[in-house]
Structure 1
Amino acid sequence: MSRLKIQLIIVLAVAGLTALSMGLTSALQEPPAPERPNVLFICVDDLRPDLRCYGNPVIHSPNLDQLAKQSTLFTRQYVTQPTCGASRYSLLTGRLPRNPVDIKNEAIEKQIAGKPRTEVPETFIDNLRRNGYYTVGMGKISHSPDGYVYGYREAKSNQLELPHSWDEMLFDAGQWGTGWNAFFAYSDGSNRQSRNAQVKPYEGSEVDDEGYPDGLTAKLAVSKLKELATKKQPFFLGVGFFKPHLPFNAPKKYWDLYDETNIPLTPSPTVPKNVNPASLHPSNEFNQYALGDEQASLDKPVSDAYARKLRHAYYAAVSYTDAQIGKVLDELKRQGLDKNTIVVVWSDHGWHLGDYRVWGKHTIFEQSLRSVLMVKKPGSQTGAVRDEIVSSIDIYPTLMELCGVKSPAQTDGKSFASLLDKGKKPWDNVAYGYYRRGITIRTDRYRLTRYFRDQQPTVELYDHQTDPHENQNIADAYPDVVKQLMPRWDQGNTHVFK
């Protein structure tokens, strides 16, 4: 055989071995990891499920209604505590309350702020950050309106409430100067503190959207989305809107959307039957607004005319926030980010609009604990409506699953990612709530509440099949149902109340 033929055979053999080696290597390699989704998390303060997509035909909420058509809307999502700071603490940590401070507005300040970094992330946002996400917060995500620890009348501090969760924590306080001044803002640049509470609990001024702080937050979010669109890194953007928290202030054009005479009143105008007033409260937060037309009381309701005016004001504030959310969602789509972004809209609790003569949150009844939740997955436009009972503590593990991120934190919640697709799925319909020295469990049919107090009765039972507004406590009439539910109630007894 000639030398040339031998060289050719050697060359072909080496080429064949090289090709075989490359093929084996390619076969053994893992497929490329999918691009992690971004997260846009929108928090709304004091928003009960009074939206058209939740069945209220009077409310004007076109942007949230449109998002609901593209999302999975949860009709029965419950927060664990009906007060801002504590509710957000449970959301961020995925944990039920275990210490008295966990049910107070100071929960995040006392339990997270100022603490050193540990192996366990302080929040689900911190966990995303540790796993390669660029995290940005603006507005009220934790308890403080701008994410920093300081009092209502104090200068802004440099201490973050969530010291390890953010790459950036942003807020535009505008003419009001600080986050807390902006939180209680009136359109002339004043606030509840500077006016020593000599204010009404509502205002409708002839200003544009940026004449109140939430308009500035929407503008800031739009600007930040343009910047985030250029990053080669998945992001978490948390945007916290103030309204419809008191005072119910909004530009007049949102008031003009409503005919006040057509606004319905509460189906629960009196204290529920067989319930001690200790289960409710005399609307102290609402009554701080000293120039209100009337004071609220458990002894008698406010007049129907004033109740309609207050509901009108609340609805105007809801429509104002809906418009700001619309601006953020429009920019997300304009930047092409909607194709790979999980969108969550969540409210930190409900609110009594005169229900049981209460104006405010701070009870463990349905109106105070049930809140808004809708979740949109990238590439999915389900328009699904889920009636399963979920809890705000379930959001942490759900987001981790959707983002493909593991967490070393032990949460009390469970992922509801499987519910984001249509079809019947197995699910345990239970949620717990804590406040007023009481613990409540919501099941598919019942609410069972037990209070740790002297005032009787201490046990309340409501049948949502026959009494969806919880107007009558039937615990004494149905002791067998109480006995049947008590073991499940006891599973939620974290001994936060000694």
Structure 2
Amino acid sequence: MKNLLLIAVLSIGLFAFAQPSKKRPNILFIAVDDLRPEMNFYGANHIQSPNLDKLAGESLVFNRAYCNVPVCGASRASLLTGSRPTRYRFLDARTEKDIDAPDAVSLPLLLKQNGYTTISNGKIYHSGKDDMAAWDSKWFPKGSVRDYQLPEHVKQSMEAGYGVPTEMADVGDDAYFDGKIAEKGIEDLQKLKNGNQPFFLALGFMKPHLPFNAPKKYWDLYDRSKIELPKSYMQPKSTPKEAFHKFGELRKYHNVPKNGDLPEDLAKELIHGYYACVSYVDAQIGLVLDELKRLELEDDTIVILWGDHGWNLGDHKLWCKHVTFETALRTPLIIKVPGKTSGQHTEAITEYIDIYPSLAELVGLNIPATVEGQSFVPVINGQSQQKDWAVSKFGDAVTLIKGDLFYTEWVKDDGIAYARMLFDHKTDPLELDNLAEKPAYKNTVKELAAELRAKWGKDFLKKK
């Protein structure tokens, strides 16, 4: 009897040992360049984005997510390493993780080291050669990144480097880069379907980045005569001059004046083009999500979608990013976790450096010591989050977002401020009334200045 019992116990043990451990969840990681949080699921009703709306209905939507630096290369390197920008690190579009944070184990590298197949398609890092060790494969469409389809625009771009800021071409979705990126993502999902490893599939869509090129059918979704300039189309005298710029990124394009405000018809053309590009990229993302479902991978895959920073569409008479107004800092962020999310929204203030530790926790991996963000998994689990702040910076400007207050200082190398602005979003959501120099807010400014320095990171003023 004892021998039979021993055999049974051993058999159960051997059976248990023989069972494969449960595979970690896959991650579909979708980055969208220059995407504002202006879709229907954020309360707007003028941009048609049915696929993103559907995804949001299955996800947790962050109403108050903020990039840590409003420029693509720096934002992406910061997000993918979970590291804060400093006065000397993660500065501009050309930032490379390998140069600014060579010792940091990036999110894709951590996943690769722990058995994930890692694939980068399209624009994930700004530089195609950055963090090569993190990927099993990297792919980017061939051709000029301006991606014009009409011959006259192609010729103009080849001759001048930049062409017109918008293009409406009567072509199929796969003519432009984002259609090709969606096709590549679908091909990869089909290959990964039967793999024995979990996957981290990163898709970096290019639109709505300038130039605003999209197939004609997406332009036709909108009536330009009904497009209006933003309510914040002004630059109040109380706002420091340092807060504004000449939006040089846009002025490189043909037919854009080199100085001054844009003509109203051009401004509305740009807004129209932006909307068209959002609808176009929405359709491409929808194709990928449909294939994920068709392949029966939905229940095993975390889907996260983010825009690398906000974008100004005439807000404060500005275009592009490169400022610390909320329009450049606030970003779309949604995450679908099977069995846990179903269209909830959260007001929890979230920084982009929080994405890395959150995904690592969700798939059961230890978080490297270099990661400075804080996991938002408790929010996914329906718990409250005590953290109610974020810090973003661009150039000399550093912003503390604390509750409804947005406090910015422009600082020198020694950390001493030479300009300030403070907005209370409870009474001034458009950021038109700078409170920083008003006597009634002297103590508030003093408290926020101290808190900004306590939270901008221990290495903020440290030179490389």
When normalised by structure 1's length, the TM-score is: 0.86
| CA distance in structure 1 between the partners assigned to 2:117 and 2:355 by the alignment | 19
Within the candidate set 346, 355, 358, 2:306 is matched to: 346
Q: What's the counterpart of residue 474 of structure 1?
A: 435
Change (3 A) 1:210 1:18: closer
- State the percentage of identical aligned residues: 39
- Which aligned pairs between 1:164-203 and structure 2 lie closer than 5 A? 164-173=133-142, 176=143, 181=144, 183-188=145-150, 190=154, 193-197=157-161, 199-203=163-167
Tell me if 1:140 matches 2:123.
yes
Number of the residue aligned with 2:197: 233
User: What's the offset of the Cα at 1:467?
Assistant: 0.5
Partner residue of 1:368?
328
Aligned to 1:69: 57
Q: 2:263 aligns with which of 303, 324, 339?
A: 303
1:162 is the counterpart of 2:131: yes
Do the aligned residues in 2 keep the contact of 1:198 with 1:291 (CA within 8 Å)?
no
Task: Determine helix, strand or coil for the equivalent of 2:434.
Answer: coil
Residues 379-421 of structure 1, C-alpha deviations (whole Å, 9 max, x = no match): 3442001111100000000000001111334211000011124
1:404-458 deviations in whole A, cap 9, x for unaligned? 1113342110000111244x51331111111131111111110111102599961
Q: What corresponds to 1:495 in structure 2?
A: 460
Partners of 1:402 and 1:112 in 2: how far apart? 27
Residue 310 of structure 1 and its aligned partner are, at CA, apart by 1.1
Partner AA of 1:459 in structure 2: R
Alignment-derived partner of residue 43 in structure 2: 55
Equivalent of 1:484 in 444, 447, 451? 447
**Mapped pair 1:242 → 2:206:** yes
For residues 300-320 of structure 1, the C-alpha deviation after alignment (integer angstroms, 9 at most, x for no partner) is x32333222211011001111
Which residue of structure 1 aligns with residue 179 of structure 2?
215
Matched residue of 1:271: which SS? coil
Could you tell me which amino acid in structure 1 is paired with residue 426 of structure 2?
A: Q
- Unmatched tracts of structure 1, length 5 or more: 1-11, 148-159
1:224 maps to 2:172: no
Counterpart for residue 251 of structure 1: 215
Which letter maps to 2:108? I
Aligned residues of 2:86 and 2:460 also touching (Cα < 8 A): yes
Instruction: Report the residue type matching 1:107 in the other structure.
Output: T
Question: Would the alpha carbon gap of residues 409 and 195 (structure 1) be closer, same or farther in structure 2, given more than 3 Å must change?
Answer: farther
Q: Name the CA distance, whole Å, in 2 between partners of 1:51 and 1:421.
A: 25
Distance in 2 between residues matched to 1:446 and 1:497, nearest whole Å: 27
Partner of 2:398: 439
Aligned-partner Cα distance in 2 for 1:28–1:238 = 34
Q: Indicate conservation of the 8 Å contact 1:244/1:317, yes or no.
A: yes
Match of 1:97 in 2: 85
Contact 1:430 1:444 in 2 (8 A): yes
Q: 1:391 to 1:13 in 2, by over 3 A?
A: closer
Q: Structure 1 counterpart of 2:278, which letter?
A: V
Matched, 1:126 2:109: yes
Tell me, what secondary structure is at the counterpart of 2:347? strand
User: CA contact under 8 A between 2:157 and 2:163: conserved in structure 1?
Assistant: no
CA distance in 1, matches of 2:155, 2:394: 29
Q: Quick one: which of 28, 40, 43 aligns to 2:31?
A: 43
Indicate the residue corresponding to 2:66 in structure 1. 78
Distance change (3 Å), C-alpha of 1:109 and 1:21: closer
Shift in alpha-carbon separation, 1:374–1:191, aligned structure 2, 3 A: farther
Deviation per CA, 1:231-278: give whole Å up to 9, x if none: 111000000011000001100100000011222321111113412222
Provide closer, same or farther for how the CA distance between residues 192 and 471 of structure 1 changes in structure 2, counting only shifts above 3 A. farther
Deviation, structure 1 residue 496: 4.2
Deviation at 1:106, TM superposition (A): 2.7
Q: In structure 1, what is the Cα distance between the partners aligned to 2:447 and 2:18?
A: 51
Alignment counterpart, residue 465 of structure 1, candidates 411, 426, 437: 426
Distance 1:39 1:309, change over 3 A: same
C-alpha change, 1:425 and 1:134, in structure 2 (3 Å) is same
CA contact (8 A) 2:23 2:197 kept: no
Q: CA deviation at 1:17?
A: 3.9
Separation of aligned partners in 1, 2:319 and 2:378: 37
- Does the 8 Å contact 1:295/1:302 carry over to 2? no
SS of the residue corresponding to residue 433 of structure 1 reads strand
**Secondary structure, aligned partner of 2:84:** coil
Matches of 1:380 and 1:488, distance apart in 2: 34
**Shift in alpha-carbon separation, 1:101–1:328, aligned structure 2, 3 A:** same
The CA distance in 2 between the partners of 1:90 and 1:17, in whole Å, is 56
**Deviation string for 1:453-478 (max 9, x for gaps)?**
59996111100100011111101221
Say whether the 8 Å CA contact 1:43–1:346 is kept in structure 2. Answer: yes
Q: Report if aligned partners of 1:340, 1:379 keep a CA contact under 8 Å in 2.
A: no
Q: How far off its partner does 1:107 sit?
A: 2.1
Inter-partner Cα distance in structure 2 for 1:403 and 1:97: 26
Contact 1:429 1:444 in 2 (8 A): yes
SS in structure 2 at match of 1:104: coil
On the 8 A contact 2:379/2:385 being kept in 1, the answer is: no
Q: Secondary structure at the match of 1:432?
A: strand
d(CA) in 2 for partners of 1:27 and 1:250?
56
Q: Distance in 2 between the 1:312 and 1:383 partners?
A: 28
Letter of the structure 2 residue corresponding to residue 431 of structure 1: A
In 2, Cα distance between the equivalents of 1:374 and 1:191? 39
Matches within 5 A, 1:321-360: 321-360=281-320
Q: Max radius of gyration: which structure?
A: 1
Q: Does 2:95 correspond to 1:107?
A: yes
How far did 1:97 drift?
1.6
Partners of 1:109 and 1:418 in 2: how far apart?
A: 29
* Conservation of the 8 A alpha-carbon contact between 1:441 and 1:489: yes
**In structure 1, the residue corresponding to 2:134 is in which secondary structure?**
coil
126-135 or 455-464, which moves further after superposition? 455-464
Query: 1:425 aligned to 2:408?
Result: no
Distance 1:398 1:212 in 2: 33
Tell me the distance in 2 between the aligned counterparts of 1:135 and 1:80.
Answer: 25
How many angstroms does 1:22 deviate by?
Answer: 5.3
Does structure 2 retain, via aligned residues, the 8 Å contact 1:296–1:357?
no
Q: What letter matches 2:184 in structure 1? A: L
CA contact (8 A) 2:313 2:320 kept: yes
Checking the alignment, whether the CA contact within 8 Å between 1:275 and 1:457 is kept in structure 2 is no
Rounded Cα–Cα distance in structure 1 between residues aligned with 2:202 and 2:369: 21
